[in-house]
Amino acid sequence: MGKNLIELGDLTDKNLGQLVLLNNTTLPVSYEEKFYSKLLTTGFVSKLAFFNDIMVGAVCCRIDQSQVQGEQPSLYIMTFCVLAQYRNLGIGRKLLEYIEELCKTEKYEKISLHVQVGSDAIDFYKKFSFSIESTINNYYRNIQPADCYVMSKKMITSDEKKDDNTKQE
């Protein structure tokens, strides 16, 4: 039996409809058309996961510029999903590793996201050293539980910042 192939691909206007369908199938929250059209513009990062040429997962992020002088931008994961029958095959890991590598290359400060309280995704993110920063009560309007956690992972350490500042001097 041949090895199953996981590949990552870019979001384009040609496969945007597939992403909408994937998100509607896997996520408890629906997004409007304007959300998806923004993904193709500057300031957003999206990556699709294909398993034997079938789109089965995706991650969509927003680049958040820091409001603090001297701090690097960070990456906010807006949506992250893998079809249920394709979980535990390394697809989510590959998507997250892509995002982490991008953060290192671009020197993004941290990765953050909101995740529904009680979601299986919490354990997934914890495996990758994400931690819970805070809880937001009544974050979601039409799903229960309505509360969410803000989870994050630091990508740049204080030492790396000092190294960068030393190089610039």
Residues forming the active site: 76, 114
Where do the H-state alpha helices sit in the chain?
16-26, 33-38, 91-106, 121-127, 158-168
C-beta separation of 115 from 149 below 8 A: yes
Q: For residues 165 and 65, what is the distance between their CA atoms, to the nearest angstrom?
A: 19
Q: For residues 56 and 61, what is the distance between their CA atoms, to the nearest angstrom?
A: 17
